[in-house]
Amino acid sequence: MTQTQRFDQEAATWDENPRRVRLAKEVAETIARRLPLARNLKVLDFGCGTGLLTLNLQPLVGTITGADTSEGMLNVLRQKVRGQSLTNVDAFQLKPDNDYAIEGTYDLIVSSMTLHHVQDLAPLFRRFRDHLRDHGWVALADLDTEDGTFHQDNHDVFHLGFERSAFKAQLQDAGFTSLTEETAFENRRNGRDYPVFLITGRKQAH
Ligand X SMILES: C[S@@+](CC[C@H](N)C(=O)[O-])C[C@H]1O[C@@H](n2cnc3c(N)ncnc32)[C@H](O)[C@@H]1O
> What residues numbered 6-45 form the site for ligand X, per CB under 6 A?
7, 20, 24
For 117, the 3-state DSSP assignment is helix
Out of 62, 100, 159, 181, the only residue in the binding site for ligand X (CB under 6 A) is 100
- Is residue 122 a contact partner of residue 175, using CB atoms and an 8 Å limit? no
- Minimum gap (Å) between residue 131 Cβ and ligand X: 14
Residue closer to ligand X (CB basis): 43 or 118? 118
Task: Give least dist CB 100 to ligand X, A.
Answer: 5
Among 68, 107, 142, 144, binds ligand X (CB under 6 A): 68
Nearer to ligand X, 60 or 204 (CB): 60
The Cα–Cα gap between 4 and 70 comes to: 5
**Shortest CB 52 distance to ligand X, Å:** 4
Greatest pairwise CA separation for the chain in angstroms:
47
Helix (H, G, I), strand (E, B) or coil at 110: strand
By CB under 6 A, tell whether 69 contacts ligand X: yes
Q: DSSP letters of 138-185?
A: EEEEEEBP--S-SSS--TT---SSB-HHHHHHHHHHTTEEEEEEEEEE
118 binds ligand X per the rule CB under 6 A: yes
Region of 31-39, 110-118, 169-177, 187-195 interacting with ligand X (CB under 6 A)? 110-118
Least distance between ligand X and beta carbon 111 (Å) = 7
b/e sequence 90-112, b meaning 16+ C-beta within 10 Å: bbbebeeeeebebeeebbbbbbb
The answer to whether the beta carbons of residues 198 and 185 sit under 8 Å apart is: no
Using alpha carbons only, what angle is made at residue 35 by residues 168 and 165, rounded to the nearest 5 degrees?
10
139-178 footprint of ligand X as x/- string (CB under 6 A): ----------------------------------------
CA dihedral 71, 51, 185, 28 (to 10 degrees): 140
At closest approach, how far in Å is the CB of 123 from ligand X? Answer: 11
Residues contributing to the site for ligand X (CB under 6 A): 3, 7, 20, 24, 47-49, 52-53, 68-70, 73, 94, 100, 112-114, 117-118
